[in-house]
Structure 1
Amino acid sequence: MARTYFITGFPGFVSSNLIKKLVDIDHDARFELLVYRDQIQKAYHAIEDMVHYSKITIIEGDITKSELGIDEGTRRRLTEEVTHVFHLAAIYDLAVPEDIAHRVNVNGTRNVLDFILPFSSLKRFIYFSTAYVSGDRSGSIYEDELECGQAFKNYYEETKYEAEVMVHSYMNKLPITIIRPGVVMGHSKTGETAKFDGPYFMMRFLDKFARLPIPYIGGGEALINLVPIDYVVDATTFLAHDETAKSKVFHLTDPEPLTVREVYRLIAQTLVGKTPSYTLPSSFVSKTLSLSLIRKWVQVERETIDYFTLQAYYDSANTIKHLKGTGIVCPRLADYMTHEVDYYKKHRHEPEKLIKVN
């Protein structure tokens, strides 16, 4: 039986790369892509670049609506045909307001879960969570841990946590695999990425001060967990078809992460050719970025600074065990940072790649 993939979150960065990978390895598969109405034209343009795109169907829908806003005839067809569901649609903005985050990340996930319960051919539901459901926890964070009394740095983390708790409650009803990526960067070979957020805020910050002595921000002892998109996609694709990955959680994180200070220095040396020579307290930078005028000029979200002090290590023993022998490993950041910076330098002035900072 040919596989049929139902995927939310297209044409987002991770979903687009995931589909390209699945198309490449599974020529007989069909794809049903749930797309929000204001992304329809972008979605059609995106699939034109894909081989076998004639086997891709775009469905206008909305995860915040009952039955995902899909008509009865399409629902009936999906119920009979879909074998794999990837739920990636979410609000990823660290500065997202609570009501929007809850509506999309929590209610949206509940709607997707309920929508797929009747799927008669379903072999796997792959839910994209985040490593940062750990909130403010410190020390080693394990893949089989979730509800540990943690608090959260923002509504993105909190609502992704609430959504994952809910996904776990469906484990006895659906064949579920949960993916918890770290901070996703561009491709390790090309540097290609869709948006300059996350660690790219460091690059945007350094751009503003390139002609001045470069400061470190805070002590920088915290570990920062960065993973390239190709590792996330390759690992997810394998785990989605691995029978032993059912009912399990996987940290797609760097098993040998660098500290914030090391990453910042690496970016500074690669981007502007300078090594930071003094330190600004992270509290000072955070307070400065609380001023809208400064925040907009630097083009860095204040919430980013919270991750400069997070004392957590994301253990990925379960992931490493399942990927053993596949050749799928997380590359070392120092080995691909040049590609990330080169891509940023070539595309840093393109409006569609910049996250609007308010």
Structure 2
Amino acid sequence: MQDFVLLTGSTGLLGRYLLRDLLLANRKVAVLVRASRKQSAVERVEDIMRMWDPFVGDKHSRPVCIQGDICKEGLGLEGESRNWIAENCSTMIHSAASLAFRTNTDGEPYRSNVDGTRNVLEICRESNIREMHYISTAYVCGLRTDIAREDELDVGQDFRNDYERTKLEAETLVREASFIDELTVYRPAVISGDSKTGYTNTYHGLYLYLRLMSLLVPKQELDANGRRFTPIRLPMTGMEKRNVVPVDWVSEVITHLIQTPQAHGRTYNLSPEKCLTPREIIDAGYSYFHSTGVQYVGSEPIDPSTYNRFEAEFLPSIGLYENYKSTDPVFDRTNLMKYAGHLPCPVIDESMLHQYMRYGEQDRWGKRRNKNPASRVSPRRPVRRRVTSTP
């Protein structure tokens, strides 16, 4: 047994940071990755590792790449890969998930979040993997308005969407797996980009609002004072609390807890000390775009027949997050403070929001082809240090 950790979801935002931080912590990492329409599993991991080469360098090992798919029975693994996992992996870190709010024609998010977790657990049972670290979400609490405690799960709560519901079902599955001797559960709040660089590879949540501002506000003409007027009514007070956490902090905390044996076997709400508010986001947009004009009109819905042109472009686009417009729950952080209190969550302030906007604009909100300088290397030139692939 070589004591590898097997990581799912390494091509996602949090997963790629976990891959980096685990390697920096000198862990041996194997990643389960499916091929895409344009790239093999190895090529996808190579892209991620080129991004992290300035951090990881030559001093740390490369990940072992195993082609598989959590949505397939047996993870779609060939026999030799299954044998390799059984012989080399002692720990499962299950980060892969679908973020779809509503069930679609592909069966997501149930397909990935519930069935996928069941498939991952079956490989753990088959391979005698008894230590599991599961990435859940703080929003398994659903529509609760009281304190959401770390040691609670199903208290009969209702849910805003299928994503929350499936993550509760998945967390229930891992808790009921009798063959897992040591289960640690991490429940991040809404994950945003890198607190230092603004990097993200997904434009959901907070980035949806920033993207809309970036696309719509500059279209408004400048007034005599050099400002843009954006006449829009928002159905909120602007002071609603939002639990948003930078991805680099989430990964740093999870990696620290994975590396701290006495912290295992517990549940952690990864939420910030200071919440973000819609008013802070709008004010950051004001200063970034030299704009004004937002009115906060309370929680009552606005009649679409009264929308002005700007409202007609903006408000329907944020309808997916309608159920999140009220204040977030308060998340208990007792375990987090006990075992990772020395790693404070960076405050998402105006400067960081501006950094997020700059990165989004530079990345063309996910449409830029060259994501980082390394991606300009010719595909015919071999990467200096290859990802290892199982037979």
* TM-score clears 0.5: yes
1:214, distance to aligned residue in structure 2 (A): 5.0
1:311, distance to aligned residue in structure 2 (A): 4.1
Change (3 A) 1:235 1:54: closer
Determine helix, strand or coil for the equivalent of 2:66.
Answer: strand
Residue 82 (structure 1) aligns with: 89
Deviates more, 1:214-223 or 1:58-67: 214-223
Residue 306 (structure 1) aligns with: 323
Q: How does 1:64-213 map to 2 (within 5 A)?
A: 64-97=71-104, 99-120=107-128, 122=129, 124-170=131-177, 173-207=180-214, 208-210=216-218, 211=220, 212-213=229-230
Residue 279 (structure 2) aligns with: 262
**Contact 2:135/2:185 (CA < 8 Å) preserved in 1?**
yes
Residue 45 (structure 1) aligns with: 47
Change (3 A) 1:287 1:94: farther
TM-score normalised according to structure 1 size: 0.85
2:339 aligned with 1:315: no
Residue 253 (structure 2) aligns with: 235
Give the partner amino acid of 1:69.
G
Change (3 A) 1:296 1:66: farther
1:349, distance to aligned residue in structure 2 (A): 4.6
Residue 5 (structure 2) aligns with: 5
**Contact 2:5/2:28 (CA < 8 Å) preserved in 1?**
yes
Change (3 A) 1:123 1:337: farther
Aligned equivalents of 1:296 and 1:58: distance in 2?
Answer: 43
Residue 244 (structure 1) aligns with: 262
Residue 346 (structure 2) aligns with: 331
TM-score normalised according to structure 2 size: 0.79
Aligned equivalents of 1:153 and 1:172: distance in 2?
Answer: 32
Aligned equivalents of 1:182 and 1:276: distance in 2?
Answer: 30
1:69, distance to aligned residue in structure 2 (A): 1.0
Deviates more, 1:216-225 or 1:269-278: 269-278
Aligned equivalents of 1:72 and 1:92: distance in 2?
Answer: 30
**Contact 1:295/1:301 (CA < 8 Å) preserved in 2?**
no
**Would you say how many aligned residue pairs link Structure 1 and Structure 2?**
342
1:283, distance to aligned residue in structure 2 (A): 5.8
Deviates more, 1:103-112 or 1:337-346: 337-346
Change (3 A) 1:119 1:286: farther
Aligned equivalents of 1:159 and 1:189: distance in 2?
Answer: 32
Structure 2: unaligned runs, 5 residues or longer = 221-228, 306-310, 370-391
Change (3 A) 1:54 1:321: closer
Change (3 A) 1:341 1:217: farther
Give the partner amino acid of 1:18.
L
1:276-316 Cα offsets, whole Å, 9 max, x none, are 5413566646969xxxxx99987835221221114411221
**Contact 2:185/2:266 (CA < 8 Å) preserved in 1?**
yes
1:111-137 Cα offsets, whole Å, 9 max, x none, are 1112112444x4631111111111111
Determine helix, strand or coil for the equivalent of 1:178.
Answer: strand
Residue 347 (structure 1) aligns with: 363
Aligned equivalents of 1:298 and 1:105: distance in 2?
Answer: 29
Aligned equivalents of 2:32 and 2:17: distance in 1?
Answer: 15
Deviates more, 1:17-26 or 1:47-56: 47-56
1:94, distance to aligned residue in structure 2 (A): 2.5
**Contact 1:175/1:246 (CA < 8 Å) preserved in 2?**
yes
Rg larger in structure: 2
Structure 1: unaligned runs, 5 residues or longer = 289-293, 354-358
Deviates more, 1:13-22 or 1:39-48: 39-48
Change (3 A) 1:13 1:277: closer
Change (3 A) 1:30 1:246: closer
**Contact 1:117/1:174 (CA < 8 Å) preserved in 2?**
no
Give the partner amino acid of 1:240.
I
Aligned equivalents of 2:328 and 2:283: distance in 1?
Answer: 20
Percent of aligned positions that are identical: 26
**Contact 1:267/1:341 (CA < 8 Å) preserved in 2?**
no
Give the partner amino acid of 2:262.
T
Give the partner amino acid of 1:36.
R
